[in-house]
Amino acid sequence: MQTCKLCNKIFYSNEALLNHNRAKHTEEAKKKLLTPIQKKKIKTWATTVVIIAALIGLVSFLISNIETFPPKDMEGHLEVSPPAHILKEPMSIAVHKHMLEHADGKEGGRGGVIINYNCEDFICEEKLVENLEAFATKYPAHVYVAPYPNMDAKIVLTKLNQQKVLTEFDESLIGAFVQ
């Protein structure tokens, strides 16, 4: 025997009770999929996931749009000089910063000028590196030339607290920056 919980009628089979509920208690007979508490938990979790995804997306966007240039300050430098003024390998950041302070490591000496180039990510003219190196030989005391991979420019001229970005070799602009 089965009893209807809504109207207390007695039925002799489950099928009879089911038919009664369908006919007399349509709304009550429908099972609710989720309770209000479950709905609230799902809504809270979904909102949390959307907010976290938005924050991750924002951080990724901001990081991907950061431009990479050589440093132009001395913070964190080492008192070490590079092996030469014309380098075929990138200069370490700490040494780069030291050359901005004083070229060739001479205390109280003139600050250096560093010409960095990036021919990995940019198409460089046939003799760009040769031209930059030849220019540096005109100023052997304080001008350095070195590649700077992953830089967001083809050529960057750097001296203490100053930078100039170039898209091509321009001897007069480089000379004016060095002076």
Integer CA distances (angstroms), 60 to 50, 56, 69, in order: 15, 6, 19
Global pTM reads 0.62
Going from N- to C-terminal start, the domains of the chain cover 1-31, 35-66, 93-178
* Alpha-carbon torsion angle 46, 47, 53, 58, nearest 10: 170
**End-to-end Cα, the chain, rounded Å:** 104
For the segment 2-18, the average pLDDT, to the nearest whole number, is 87
Give residue-wise pLDDT tens across range 28-61: 655 556 778 888 999 999 999 999 999 999 988 8
Q: In the chain, what percentage of residues exceed pLDDT 90? A: 22
Q: Are 101 and 144 in contact (CB under 8 A)?
A: no
Q: Does domain 93-178 have CATH number 3.40.30?
A: yes
Strand order in the sheet with 155-159: 143-147, 113-117, 155-159, 162-166
Tell whether the model's pLDDT for residue 90 goes beyond 70: yes
For the segment 117-127, the average pLDDT, to the nearest whole number, is 89
